[in-house]
Structure formats: C-alpha cells, structure tokens
Copies of this chain bind each other. A is one copy, B any other.
Amino acid sequence: MRLEPLNDRVILKALMAEETTKSGIVLPGQEKEKQQQAEVVAVGPGGMVDGKEVKMQVQVGEKVIYSKYAGTTVELDDEEYTIVRQDDILAIIK
C-alpha cells in the first residue's frame, strides 16, 4: 500500500535524530525542534487548489523543515506519516 496525496499535499516521514545533527551536544529544546525535520515521501500533483494555481516545488527524497503543528499524522503499514500542504513546508535542507 502507498499514499497518493491530493492537490498541493505532501507526505512526510520523520527523520531519525542521528541524521540531522552533526554535533553531539544536546541543547535544551533540541528534541522538540527535531520533529519538524522530515523526508518527502510523496508529492501531490498541485494545480488549482482553492481557486489558486499551485506549482509543486519539493521532490521525493528531499529533506525539509515544516511548520510546527501543521498537517495530519496518519499510520499505514505500521509506519507513521505526516501529510501537510506544500505551504507548510518552510525550507529544504540541502
């Protein structure tokens, strides 16, 4: 089974902590921030969304930072995903 997002939606999968921090020093609040980083696993087709043309700008495999509390968490085949609108993605981590 796989998820195929509608409209301007993007499906994200949380990144493991090891992948995103080079330094071993844990700052207060670091744990919470980490949850905003994720990998793109599926991208909707974009197009007319709520009467406005949306062009998709992220690609599967990219690592992104998204808004706190944005999106809906779903579980499929024992994996947890977050489905957000592309506009909830703040930046791509290069």
Residues of B within 8 Å of A51, CB to CB, are 51-53
Residues of B within 8 Å of A52, CB to CB, are 48, 50-51
Residues of B within 8 Å of A59, CB to CB, are none
Interface range, A side: 35 or more
Majority DSSP secondary structure for residues of A touching B:
mixed
Residues of B within 8 Å of A11, CB to CB, are 91
Q: A65-B3, A78-B27 are in contact. Are A72 and B94 (CB under 8 A)?
A: no
Question: Which of A27, A86, A91 gathers the greatest number of chain B CB atoms within 10 Å?
Answer: A91
The reply to whether B1 and A50 form a contact with Cβ atoms under 8 Å apart is: no
The reply to whether B91 and A3 form a contact with Cβ atoms under 8 Å apart is: yes
